[in-house]
Amino acid sequence: MNYQVVLGDWAAMAADARPLREEVFIIEQQVPVELEWDEFDESSVHALFYDENGVALGTGRLLPDGHIGRMAVRKAARGNGIGSAILTALMNAARVRGNVEVVLNAQVHAESFYARFGFVREGDVFSDAGIPHIRMRHLFE
């Protein structure tokens, strides 16, 4: 698959990232709209995965404190390495800017996905927007 992962600020990425997050989180996972949008979009680095036709299929963000979140891939495109490409780009961006670690709150069903990238589970399962999550951490060597 020919693709491109683009990093940028919210001003540059919102037009493509917003509809993806609405589709995956608000519509598919029924996350309340008021929980999806927050003040962290403005200060985060956003990643967008574009296919060979320039269609945005996935997104994620990296907060200033090294927290990765809002990882979303269109349902029809899952299982094709899109999440891996986005996560790798965000981890590399964190490493380049000097973060010593990255953390995330994974939906429990995605724990094994993040573990493949060296993320380690911390603590107990908790609910976020009614969805079971687990905190995970990856230390850069």
How many domains does the chain fold into? Answer: 1
Whether residue 132 lies inside any domain: the answer is: no
In the prediction, which pLDDT does 1 show?
A: 64
- Prediction pTM value: 0.95
Quote the CA–CA distance of 70 and 85 in Å, as a whole number.
14
Whether residue 10 lies inside any domain: the answer is: yes
Instruction: Write the burial class of residue 139 (CB in 10 Å: 0-12 exposed, 13-18 middle, 19+ buried).
Output: exposed
pLDDT in tens, 68-99: 999 999 999 999 999 999 999 999 999 999 99
Mean pLDDT (the chain, rounded):
95
Quote the CA–CA distance of 117 and 112 in Å, as a whole number.
9
pLDDT of 2 > 90? The answer is no
Whether residue 24 lies inside any domain: the answer is: yes
Whether residue 105 lies inside any domain: the answer is: no
Share of the chain above pLDDT 70, in %: 99
Quote the CA–CA distance of 58 and 21 in Å, as a whole number.
9
The CATH number covering residue 23 comes to 3.40.630.30
pLDDT of 26 > 90? The answer is yes
Whether residue 73 lies inside any domain: the answer is: yes
Q: For residue 127, give Cα distances in angstroms to 4, 18, 46, 134.
A: 33, 23, 24, 9
Query: 25 lies in which domain range?
Result: 3-99
